[in-house]
Structure formats: structure tokens, C-alpha cells
Amino acid sequence: MVSTGRLRVAVAGASGYAGGEFLRLALRHPHLEVGTVTAHSHAGTALGMVQPQLRSLAGRVLEPTTPEALAGHDVVVLGLPHGASGELAATLPDDVLVLDLGADHRLASGHDWEAFYGSPHAGTWPYGLPELLHADGTRQRDVLKGAHRIAVPGCNVTAVTLGLQPGVAAGLVSAVDVVAVLAVGYSGAGKALKPHLLAAEGLGAAVPYAVGGTHRHIPEIAQNLRAAGAAEVSVSFTPTLVPMSRGILATVTARLAPGHESATSDEVRAAWEQAYAEEPFVELLPEGQWPTTAATLGANTALVQVALDAAAGRVVVVSAIDNLVKGTAGQAVQAMNIALGLEETAGLVTEGVAP
């Protein structure tokens, strides 16, 4: 599906954080024209009332989310709650590119879906992480070329996967006993009004959630590490909300693989250098410099650093992303570009906003 000219894109769930961020990126994309925008509870409201930052679209009225409202577009973006995308996606034509920002179509295992989400599995779509390494040496971007359905990865999953996968693919680290601790901005929890997400509760506090193996991103992380070549995977995953609106800082540690216990820091770093040398949006930082979320704000950038803790026999990786850009909407644009045969970097930037 190679496309020239401007493509009309509809965004369902345009009142939410993910939908609003996709619209922000779409407005600067050289090949996109924003068409219908829809919402559920905010239907009938001007977009500028719920997304005041989108000034050029402020007068657009949010329509109800129906198949009829989404008809007649080249690209449809579904920024809907988990469990809501499957039924709606089934009504859309096969020749339309549909990008699901939710989780409904990410997992290959229906059993994993039902265990973590508690509803029937809607099916599996091509997975929208272009940089995902495959055990055979290929990358996921090859699968995305010409795709008409794309499941955009979870934001936490993106941070952990991009951090650890080079070591797994190179056989240097074991995917058993992986420990991931993440600091996550509040926009990752969505826009719904909940008492624990109020500023009065969150400011000045760091709050763990989904502790003890209950977070829904765990099977998706395991799925990605198996794709990179891991025979077995076990992940201890603990996210913590911290008082910032955007960003994820993931600290991931894993044991050196059997036979590689004497690996040097240079050997470890070489695996990450090789994996990301040609990637436009993933950067291994110079030695001694560590990722910060502030450096990724507004950008489709993943910053990564790796170190060897020789005394512990573990590799330590730190990665930073903007959860709404490389973690969601920017990732969707990147995957969309590949599917449509456009330049992969179209409409995306690597420079963050600071301070």
C-alpha cells in the first residue's frame, strides 16, 4: 500500500490523551488530513473544550463513535478503552488502515488475554513496534509493510522491550528473572476522573500500582522477549506513578546468560550498539550519560543506556520515552508510515522539549 498525496484520517476517542496526541502529530504530518473526530461521553462537544492545545481543530465537533462516522477515511485510529476496539474494528472495511491504540489486538495468546483482561479475545493484528528484534535476525518493520491492521504496543512494554531486547537477541542475557521497575507519568493512567489520579493525591507522591504480577503489560513484554529469541521468560514488573504528566523511565535488570558470565562491559555494550546503530528513533547514549524523561518530551525518541553489574552478574538497562509519543501516538504514526510505504520518519521528531 504505497500512498501519495494526502490521506484522510479519522480518530475515534479523540477526547482522550492518546487520541489527542495522535491529532497533534497528524496536524504536522505532510501526508495526513484530519477528518472525523469522535468521542463517547463528549460527543456533541467542540474539540477545543477537551483538547484546548489543538487550536487549529478547536471548532471541530466531536461526533458519536459509530461505523458510519468513521466511514470514508483512508486511516482510522482507535483510541478507545481496552475491550472496546474489537467490535468496532470488525465493522471497518478491509482496505482501510486501522491503528488500534488500545490493547485489544496486541496479544497472540487468547489465554493470556482472558487471564489478564477478563474478556473474550478480539484476535491478533500485526504488532506495531518496528524495532522489535526477531530471533531470525529480521525486525518487525518487515511485517508492517502493507498491513491494513496494526496493534500499537503498550507504552510500558515499549520501554522495557527496547531496553532489554538487544541482550536477549544476542544471547548475552537470560530472560528468566528479569526485574523491571518503572517510573510512569500520570497520563499513562488515562483521562478518566479517579480520586487517586487527582493532583491533590499525586503531587509530591510516588505511588506503585499493579504490584505482584498483575499488570496487563506483563504478557506483552514476555511475548516480545520470546520473539527476540528467549526460550523462557519470567518478568517481575513494578510500575510507579510519579508526579509528572508524561514520560516513562524504565530500569530493567537481567542475569547474564549461561556461558556468558564472564562477559565484559565492552561486549555487553556492543550488543546494544549493533542493535540500534541504524534505528532513527532509538539511541544508545554515550557511556556515562543516562536517559531522562525530560529529554524525550514531545519526541518519538527512546533513549537507552546499558551497564554491566559484574558483582551481581546482571546487566542493567535504563530507557526513557514519552509515553504518549514513542509509547503510543508517535509509535502509531511510525508504524502507519511503514504500512503505507511512506518515509518512516514522516511527521515525527527526535528533539524533545526542555526545560
Catalytic positions = 155
By C-alpha distance, which of 161, 3, 7 is closest to 77? Answer: 7
3-class DSSP string for the chain: CCCCCCEEEEEECCCCHHHHHHHHHHHCCCCEEEEEEEECCCCCCEHHHHCCCCHHHCCCECEECCHHHHCCCCEEEECCCCCCHHHHHCCCCCCCEEEECCCCCCCCCHHHHHHHHCCCCCCCCCECCCCCECCCCCECHHHHCCCCEEECCCHHHHHHHHHHHHHHHCCCECCCCEEEEEEECHHHHCCCCCHHHCHHHHCCCCEECCCCCCCCCHHHHHHHHHHCCCCCCCEEEEEEECCCCCCEEEEEEEEECCCCCCCCHHHHHHHHHHHHCCCCCEEECCCCCCCCHHHHCCCCCEEEEEEEECCCCEEEEEEEECCCHHHHHHHHHHHHHHHHCCCCCCCCCCCCCCC
Q: How many whole angstroms from its chain centre is CA 263?
A: 31
User: Cβ distance 103 to 82 under 8 Å?
Assistant: yes
For the four alpha carbons of 175, 247, 332 and 353, in that order, the dihedral sign comes to: negative
Q: Which residue has the cell 514513542?
A: 326
Question: What's at 126, amino acid-wise?
Answer: P
Tell me if 208 sits within 8 A of 238, measured CB to CB: yes
